[in-house]
Structure 1
Amino acid sequence: MNLNQKKLLVQILRDHCTNIKNTSVDLETIGPVLATSDSRKCVVNSVFFATRLPIEKYEERYWYMYKPNPGKYFFDGQPFIDNAIKNGAKIIVCEEFPDKIDSEVAYFKVANVIEFMGIAAKALLENLNTKIIAVTGSSGKTTVVHCINTVLQNSGLNINKLYTTRPTPITLPEMVFNLALSTAGVPYYLVIELPADRKGAIEKLCGIAPPDISLVFNIKEAHSKTLGGVEGIIEAKNEIIKCQKEKGTVILNKDDPNLAKSLKLSNELKKEIVTFGIKDGDIKGKVLEQFDISTLYQISVSGKNVSGNISLLGKSGLYTALAAVSVGYVLKINPQTIMDSLTNFIPMPGRMNWHILENGRIKLFSNYAKGTPTNTKHLLELIDELHWTGKRILVLGDFDFHEEEEMDEKAWNIINSKFDYVILSGIKAVKYAGHLKDNVKIITVNDKGSTIKKMQALSAGNERVYIVVNGNLEFKHSELVDDFLHVMDTTNKNTTVLLHGWGTSAKKWKLIEDSLNTAGLPTVSMQLPGFDLEEPKEAWGIPEYADFVIQKLSQMNIGKPYNFIGHSFGGRLAIYIASKYPDLVNKLILTNAAGVANRKDVKTEISKSFSVKNIKKFLRTMLPEKLYDRLLEIYVKFMGSPDYKRATPLMRKTLNKVVNMDLTAYLNSIDSKTLIIWGDKDTMTPLYEGEKLHKGIKNSNFVVIKDAGHNTFVTHSKEWLNEVIFFLKEKERDA
């Protein structure tokens, strides 16, 4: 169908509904911008689905987020049609025509709105040719979905940036509709999470979005009562394989013995199969080193070993990484690109997040988003692998209200052996006191304020402290974490400021930022206009970027003077700041920094940019506009530098201004103690440029890392960090 996505959605609704009132409404011109079952969210030109669910069709897991209404329907959107129209809805999908009909609104009457949404969403996906990547498992699947999204987005693939955890037959179609209506364009890939606490739950969701790639992460005892034990869980999870598209791919955790039947089923259905694991699998991994807040690991893909760091812990974090790598492998993404993407991975709020306080003395680990018994046990098994030295505090809230199972004895044994204090937060949490032994000090509190005060009191002093907050959203543990972080005094002197290179972003520093914070060195990574932030309104040079950095730092509640670490383009900014604002700089670290090439090299670097200027003037006077644009595009493609080719027109002008500023004359005015750290194989900013910096900055040390290129802090992070941490912690000499 040769229609844009807005018209396509309207056409699909028309094709699947035979009873439409107000056919005189010009549906071709409506151009819906939003599709929703919530009348409060409607805006001008919305599609409103008046969903209703009879009491006898209630299914707990799907509908737990809705407040039940007494009477015939568990929930009913029919009474909210007028409100939806008041807010701008132009298309109403309902099971009964309302008594009052608005002449400017089209009404689609269907037998069952929820089922109609699923049919329309499936038809829309088929027309858009979007590939579905579906993930299921007993625990950790939301983090796996988020990790896969990170890999695909950082690999340049067009995927959804919206995803709904625990999708229902309402929220999944809504997500599909709104992705199609999004101004960002239709995604090539849609990554969804499929829960299963009842048989047929995954089958129903796969009926809407049949997977091209099905991933089963693990099978544990979650929902064993409703599914009839482990065998019932396996059968329910295997629906993701049975309901897959005919020529689909199945990805399985081969280390999980409960997935043996899934592997057998996949073979019987002649699926393409990819397995992963620590012990066995097509894609294998191992933990190289465990840090407090991240894991250094190695993965073997297609006979090649690649290493990386992820902000997840232990074997659990490694399995998550392996699942994401497996999806990347199926999509033929370069393994190193996958690993670089995982370095940028940031867990979703409330799902195993670290917060660093007081120069790293206090580490708070929050896991409030899903405090189910199974998830809590998963968290405790992970913590049991770690070697924490210091005071250990567990804040334990009541478990998720819709879970039937309870924590087993192994989980309580971990709590009793691993924690010094347990704060039972909330009235319902008091019942867990009977599971705790005498060696654990129990503190019971009923409200958020009291919990925060106890956390503060236990955190006081000079001892290293680990706090684990495990609860769920129903009991406001998200607010508890946010408020605790707010009341703690996190102001520290000599905050380290990270400045990234051209064409990258603040995310490039993720491993370094986490590692420095863990080492007790408070660190922030700056987001810059044209990279993480919107482009400046006009072309900027070094002075404008430097002023932006100083202004942003002044708005932060962090101490000064600052330590600056600049890489490549970020090194230019750091040099300029250290020269122009000496009172704001404590120590300076320049790693493969740009800005001091000799005159010949500066000309070489910008000559292509100037050539583009000259060629533009010539072509514009000689050629028609369309041909001019096409020839200029070809010229830039083959002749422009990589940074120049990737840049927008405004950022190309900015790049010209940046590379035109030779900072050699600024070096002599830098008084800050400086570390210059370089890779001897750097071809972008060759070693002699580092030597020139060392010669020009009087109070500088020069360290060369063997066999390292331009991104030394990424490829040789351990060696790089050793040098940097030693330098930053070294006391200043007496004046």
Structure 2
Amino acid sequence: MIPMSLAEIAAATGGKLSETADPEAIVTGGIEYDSRKAGPGGLFLALPGEKVDGHDFAAVARDRGAVAVIAGREVNVPAIYVEDGLAAVAALAREVVRRSEATVIGVTGSNGKTSTKDLIGQLCARLGPTVSTEANFNNELGHPYTVCRVEPDTEYLVLELAARGLGHITELCEIAPPQIGVVLNVGISHLDGFGDIETTARAKSELPRFLDSTGHAILNADDERVAAMASRTEAGVLYFGLGDGADITAEDLDPGDGRHLFTLRTPDGTAPVRMRLWGRHHVYNALAAAGAAWVLGASPERIAEGLSEAGRQSERRMDVFTLPDGTTVIDDSYNANPASMGAAIAALGQVPTAGRRIAVLGLMADLEELSEDCHRRAGAQAAEAGVDELIAVGDGTEPMVDGAEEVAEAVHVPDQTAAVERLRQRLRPGDTVLVKGSRYRTWDIADFLRAKEDNRQ
């Protein structure tokens, strides 16, 4: 974190110093909410929880070197007392940004946020010291937590901006105002929070609307709802995509073995890219990341080199590995919505395999009244991709089997245990297996296969 005294932090958060806290003590480390991660020079954020209360671990954090604790009730260590811990860390993050000269880059969209954020982070790291959101820690705690990792020499801050309703992205932007805003797509996801796709679009448009005339909005030219956001921002607009009208595009696209090759075209010229990431959807993510890097002044050659060397950084996202018997596993089990499900199934159809293509698919959550149609469509996509066997896992996935009329083997199983048993009995050397579903719903299956892992690609 940018060094601050406890007195300065108390002022920024509206907190009150305890009698044992030294106002002149300097905090140089980050802020942690897990006492096991507390370290010298940092702060510990004590939050009450359903099962444990962080206040009970204040002394542990102090023993591990924390300068003080941000607390909501009395603790027996130096503390800054606040009314609301989450509001306090958000206020502290705003002060960190105010003192920093880092360029803030925000990324949002219905899917691909985490992968694109990871790509932008890797490209920015080639330009200067960079802080970016870890995994998809993008909520009201993870966002300011990430911002508070900014140090005096940080040049780029890359933030994933998620929302489950209107106003959420604006709130995150107010903590760390972006100079560059990337909008990937608008799709069907979290309908329990948004209600419909048009409300989703309005929520995602909060990022370009927040940008001022000195900023840059990087928009997907191939998504009409995203492209329309150009009229709602004061910022300069740069389009990415594969169709006409894109400033950043991919020419001579070659699917390769599922890791695509293409010629990156920017307003400054072209350069070849050979991706390490699997799936056509990563081409869009790469183009969005290239747009951000181009705005920051990187040359086409430097961007292409970075994209060609960029790897997967977040778990359970298109993680492709090989088992000892030659079976290929595509672990994309972190989460799922209709767009990401379709992209993963398409990738399964592209990966070369000596055996069968098997899709093990769990529920796509939060689709409300569209659930049945979306799951039936996923089954049809499996058939279109040439999948040989579909295993639909858990309640709500039965329509996948109905949609997969042309798949040779399409079955529904009640739970992950049954899916694992079916794989144990039927998996053959050389098969390729995709595991995908909304959070937690296929993790046991992926972990069963991961336990057999031999060589990560």
The reply to whether TM is greater than 0.5 is yes
Paired residues of 1:12 and 1:124 also in contact (CA < 8 A): no
Amino acid at match of 1:91: A
2:242 to 268, 275, 278: 278
Post-superposition Cα deviations, 1:360-413, rounded to whole Å, max 9, x if no partner, equal: x5332220111344421342355567787851111123335x564522543221
* TM-score between the two structures when normalised by the length of structure 2: 0.86
1:215 Cα shift?
0.5
One-letter code aligned to 1:209: A
C-alpha separation in 2, matches of 1:208 and 1:18: 16
Q: Is the 8 A contact 1:206 1:244 kept in 2?
A: no
Aligned twin of 1:5:
2
Q: Is the aligned partner of 1:293 residue 2:258? A: yes
> RMSD over aligned Cα, in angstroms?
3.3
Say how many residue pairs are matched: 451
Provide the C-alpha distance between the structure 2 equivalents of 1:412 and 1:447, rounded to a whole number of angstroms: 18
CA deviation string 1:576-619 (max 9, x = no partner) = xxxxxxxxxxxxxxxxxxxxxxxxxxxxxxxxxxxxxxxxxxxx
Which residue of the partner structure matches residue 143 of structure 1? 115
Distance in 2, matches of 1:212 and 1:31, equals: 27
**Contact 2:353–2:431 (8 Å) recurs in 1:** no
Aligned amino acid, residue 35 of structure 1: I
Partner of residue 318, structure 2:
352
Deviation of 1:213 after TM superposition, in Å, equals 0.4
Superposition map of 1:704-723 within 5 A: none
Which of 375, 378, 382 is residue 340 of structure 2 equivalent to?
375
Candidates 305, 312, 315, aligned match of 1:340: 305
Does residue 423 (structure 1) correspond to residue 387 (structure 2)? The answer is no
Give the drift of 1:201: 0.7
CA distance, structure 1, for counterparts of residue 53 and residue 454 of structure 2: 48
1:352, distance to aligned residue in structure 2 (A): 1.3
Partner Cα distance (1:224, 1:115) in 2:
27
Distance 2:22 2:193 in 1: 49
Query: Comparing 325-334 with 431-440, which one deviates more in the overlay?
Result: 431-440
Distance 1:31 1:115, change over 3 A: closer
Give the direction of change, closer, same or farther, for the CA distance of 1:95–1:397 in structure 2 (3 Å limit): same
Q: Deviations over 1:691-723 (max 9, x none)?
A: xxxxxxxxxxxxxxxxxxxxxxxxxxxxxxxxx
Corresponding letter in the other structure for 1:469? V
Q: CA deviation at 1:110?
A: 2.7
Q: How far apart are the structure 2 equivalents of 1:292 and 1:452?
A: 27
Relative to its length, the structure with more helix (as a share) is 1
Task: Tell me which residue corresponds to 1:122.
Answer: 94
Which of the pair has the greater relative contact order for Cα pairs under 8 Å at 6+ separation?
Answer: 2
The correspondence of residues 356-435 of structure 1 with structure 2, limited to 5 A, is 356-357=322-323, 362-383=327-348, 390-400=355-365, 404=368, 406=371, 407-417=374-384, 418-425=386-393, 433-435=401-403
Deviations along 1:431-472, whole A, 9 cap, x unmatched? 8545543744245556767645543543425xx532111135
The 3-state SS of whatever aligns with 1:207 is helix
Is this contact kept in 2: 1:293–1:311, CA < 8 A? Answer: no
Identity %: 22
In structure 2, relative to structure 1, the CA distance for the partners of 1:456 and 1:340 (3 Å cut) is farther
How far apart are 1:227 and its partner, in Å?
2.0
In 2, distance between residues paired with 1:436 and 1:470? 16
Amino acid across the alignment from 1:337: R
Q: Which moved more, 1:384-393 or 1:109-118?
A: 384-393
* Contact kept in structure 2, 1:213 and 1:250, CA below 8 Å: yes
The residue matched to 2:106 in structure 1 has which SS? strand
* Partner AA of 2:138 in structure 1: P
Over 3 Å counting, the alpha-carbon distance change for 1:17 and 1:284 in structure 2 is closer
TM-score for both structures, normalised by structure 1 = 0.55
Q: 1:91 aligns with which of 58, 62, 68?
A: 68
Equivalent pair of 2:192/2:367 in contact (CA under 8 Å):
no
Matches within 5 A, 1:153-168: 153=125, 155-160=126-131, 163-168=134-139
Please state how far the C-alpha of 1:78 moved relative to its aligned partner.
5.0
CA contact (8 A) 1:287 1:314 kept: no
How big is the shift at 1:80?
Answer: 5.2
- In 2, the alpha carbon distance for the partners of 1:9 and 1:30 equals 4
Distance across 2 between alignment mates of 1:333 and 1:264: 27
Shift of 1:176: 2.1
- Given that residues 290 and 313 in structure 1 are in contact (C-alpha distance below 8 angstroms), is that contact kept between their aligned partners in structure 2? no
Distance, in Å, in 1 between the alignment partners of 2:39 and 2:454 is: 42
SS of the aligned residue for 2:270 comes to strand
Q: Decide whether the 8 Å contact of 2:240 with 2:291 is kept in 1.
A: yes
Q: Does 1:458 align with 2:430?
A: no
CA contact (8 A) 1:214 1:249 kept: yes
| Residues 1:439 and 1:43: Cα distance change in structure 2 (over 3 Å) | closer
For residues 210-242 of structure 1, the C-alpha deviation after alignment (integer angstroms, 9 at most, x for no partner) is 101000011112234532422211211111122
2:279 and 2:343 in contact (8 A); partners too:
no
Bigger shift: residues 331-340 or 166-175:
166-175
SS of residue in 1 equivalent to 2:166: coil
Q: Flag the 1:18–1:332 CA change in 2: closer, same or farther, 3 A.
A: closer
Q: How does 1:560-579 map to 2 (within 5 A)?
A: none
Q: What's the offset of the Cα at 1:343? A: 1.2
Structure 2 residue aligned with 1:200, among 147, 156, 167? 167
Tell me the alpha carbon deviations over residues 493-538 of structure 1, each in whole angstroms, 9 at most, x when there is no partner: xxxxxxxxxxxxxxxxxxxx96xxxxxxxxxxxxxxxxxxxxxxxx
Q: Give the Å deviation of 1:473.
A: 4.8
- How many angstroms apart in 1 are the aligned matches of 2:396 and 2:225? 33
